[in-house]
Amino acid sequence: MKEVVADVAVLVGLVVCTLAVIGVWRFPDVYTQLHAAGKAAFLGVSMILLAAALTAGGALWPRAALIVVLLTLTSPVAAHVVGQAALRRGEDVYSGDDG
């Protein structure tokens, strides 16, 4: 049972990480790329760390939890700072194919 849950978690994590990279590839400006990378990569990494802790157990649990908590706190801040810096530098804001 534990194995199956870990397999599913790592699969979901890989799919979400892939979506993050695809988003960074395809989206036209920094702000939309931040939307993809800031959320998806964090969620994917959290799922993969959960799978790792489920597999090996023991001493991995507190460290994995610590990393997830840390990423929860820092990932939005980092995304905000990058977006703010890009806006202050006047980087292009994508306004659709017509605009």
Partner 1 sequence: MGSTVVVVAIVWLSVLIAAAVVRLIRARSLGSRILAVDLITLLLIAILGLIAAREGTAGYLDAALVLALLAFVATTAVARSYGGRGPFS
Q: Is 1 in the site for partner 1 (CB under 8 A)?
A: no
Quick check: 1 and 43 in contact, CB under 8 A? no
The one among 1, 12, 25, 94 contacting partner 1 by CB under 8 A: 25
Closest approach, Cβ 98 to partner 1, in A, equals 20
Binding residue (CB under 8 A) for partner 1 from 1, 59, 95, 97: 59
CA angle (54 as vertex; 52, 58 as ends), nearest 5: 95
Token digits for 13? 């994590």
Nearer to partner 1, 73 or 99 (CB): 73
Does residue number 93 form part of the binding site for partner 1 (CB under 8 A)? no
Of 35, 29, 46, 44, the closest CA to residue 91 belongs to 29
Compare residues 25 and 97 and give the one whose CB is closer to partner 1.
Answer: 25
Q: What type of residue is 8?
A: V
